Copies of this chain bind each other. A is one copy, B any other.
Amino acid sequence: MRFFSDNAAPVHPAVLRAIAAADSLDTAYDGDRWSKALDERFSAVFETEVRVLWVPSGTAANCLALAALCPPHGSIVCHREAHIQNDECGAPEFYTHGAKLLLADGDGAKLTPAGVADVLDRQRYDVHQQRPHALSITNATEYGRVYTPAEVAALGTLAKARTLGFHMDGARFANAVVATGASPADLTWRGGVDALSFGFVKNGGMNAEALVFFDTALAADTLYRRKRAGHLLSKGRYLAAQLLAMLDDDVWLDCARAANAGAALLAQAAGARLLHPVEANEVFLRVTAEEAAALRAAGFDFYDWGVGEARLVVSWNQRAEDIRPLADAIASLA
């Protein structure tokens, strides 16, 4: 009964099967048949030509994307509570060689054109400040909110007008696709996104994420940067196979659908306790210390989100019957 993190969940059986199936002799690095299939497979998903690189972590995907979009002397607008700002130990600064993150505000870690413009307008555009070169958003956000295609497009329009590259951290992209019912294309490049960190690990993958370039010209240098960062694994076929397995038969969508549905159950039970609308697979609650202790005593594991708040994350493998006990426990508090 763990709601601590979708990182702690097991991997989907299709992924394990794919790994076993990839265990035949092939060539090293990304010269294998699985890696070579990625561009075409993801292009189909996105209804446009994309270039895709596997990497073993979301941090690597995010920061390779940012390095492709922003020079060391530039800056990147993101939300004040973005993962790239708060949870990657400065990986963006490492990969970009010192670009600065400019922090914007917005409810539920969601950025709006007004919030972004406010940050941009406070910058001076002279050599004494790092000029904004990129915008990065997270979909679903760090608080489980989602951007609709229209919201993405509005930001994309702003980004284009201000000559910013546009990155989407999609650690929970699948959950956003399911939540909005939008096509992957509408949620990304049709809204102006240049690069997407397409997350699989939180959604049932083991250790493969996809860095998807809609601006395909960005891929060439990134191949060098990936190698240089130690992320061109020598047996890359085991990563590529995971990605392909999750795209097949829409495993990625099924997993996200299950997780979102579980979170909706919890949201219903939580009612007025909710700190944010529940749109994906995360639920943020107001709970007293005593209530939190009571839930834990009943066997539920979760993350304290500061004082008086809790984060519950539903994983791909938790079904209604796994969720209901927690939903009931929450409903019966006070």
Interface residues of A (CB under 8 A from B): 2, 4-5, 7-11, 16, 19-20, 23-29, 55-60, 63, 71-73, 75, 86-91, 93-95, 97-100, 127-131, 201-202, 206-207, 221, 223-235, 238-239
Contacts and interface: CB of A to CB of B under 8 A. Distances in A.
A72 B127 CA distance: 21
B227 A91 contact: yes
A127 B206 contact: no
Q: Which of A8, A71, A130, A232 has the most CB of B within 10 A?
A: A8
A27 B56 contact: no
Given A207-B235, A235-B206, A72 B57 contact: no
Given A7-B28, A25-B8, A87-B128, A94 B229 contact: yes
Nearest to A13: B23
Most buried by B among A28, A72, A97, A129: A72
Contact of A63 (B16, B230, B238): B230
A75 B86 CA distance: 12
A10 B32 CA distance: 13
Contact of A90 (B88, B90, B98, B239): B98
A226 to B, nearest CB: 8
Nearest to A318: B25
Nearest to A92: B98
Number of copies: 4
Contact of A94 (B23, B28, B72): B72
Contacts of A89: 73, 127-130, 224, 227-228
A102 to B, nearest CB: 11
Closest 5 CB pairs of A and B: A93-B98, A60-B230, A7-B28, A59-B230, A73-B224
Given A207-B56, A224-B89, A201 B94 contact: no
Contact of A73 (B23, B130, B225): B225
A251 to B, nearest CB: 16
A229 B95 CA distance: 8
Nearest to A85: B100
Given A90-B228, A93-B100, A206-B235, A10 B28 contact: no
Nearest to A103: B103
Given A127-B227, A227-B91, A27 B4 contact: yes
B100 A90 contact: yes
Given A11-B235, A72-B228, A86-B128, 15 more contacts: A4-B27, A56-B231, A57-B234, A60-B230, A73-B89, A88-B228, A90-B98, A91-B228, A94-B229, A95-B230, A97-B98, A127-B224, A131-B224, A206-B238, A229-B230
Nearest to A86: B129
Contacts of A10: 23-25
Contacts of A229: 91, 94, 229-230
A228 B230 CA distance: 12
Nearest to A206: B238
